[in-house]
Amino acid sequence: VAARPDVFNHNLETVPSLYLTVRPGARYFNSIRLLQQVKEIDPEMFTKSGIMVGLGETRNEILQVMDDLRAADVDFLTIGQYLQPTRKHHPVARFLPPDEFKSLETIAYAKGFLMVSSSPLTRSSHHAGDDFRRLQAARAGRR
- Say which CATH number the domain at 108 has: 3.30.750.200
Model confidence pLDDT, tens digit, residues 89-136? 999 999 999 999 999 999 999 999 999 999 998 876 666 677 777 778
Nearest Cα to 79, choosing from 46, 109, 45, 40? Answer: 109
Rounded average pLDDT over 8-35: 96
Instruction: Mention every residue, 6+ apart, whose C-beta is less than 8 A from residue 134.
Output: 115
User: 139 falls in which pLDDT band (50, 70, 90)?
Assistant: confident
Number of Cβ atoms within 10 Å of the Cβ of 62: 19
Q: What is the pLDDT of residue 95?
A: 97
Q: pTM for this structure?
A: 0.91
Q: How confident is the model at residue 4 (pLDDT cuts 50, 70, 90)?
A: very high
Whether residue 44 lies inside any domain: the answer is: yes
In a domain, 46, yes or no: yes
Q: What is the pLDDT of residue 122?
A: 87
Bridge partners of residue 116, in order along the sequence: 77
Is residue 61 assigned to a domain?
yes
Whether residue 2 lies inside any domain: the answer is no
Domain with 29, as residue range(s), is: 7-142
Residue type present at position 103: S
Farthest-apart Cα atoms in the chain, separation: 48
Residue 63 forms part of a structural domain: yes
How many folded domains does the chain comprise?
1
- What is the tens place of the pLDDT at every residue in 54-101? 999 999 999 999 999 999 999 999 999 999 999 999 999 999 999 999
Rounded alpha-carbon distances, angstroms, from residue 117 to 23, 33, 35, 52, 71: 22, 22, 18, 12, 19
Average pLDDT over residues 5-30: 95
Domain for residue 1, yes or no? no
| Cα–Cα distance measured from residue 101 to residue 119, given in angstroms and rounded to the nearest whole number | 5
Is residue 125 a part of any domain in this protein?
yes
With respect to residue 42, please indicate whether it lies within any of the assigned structural domains.
yes
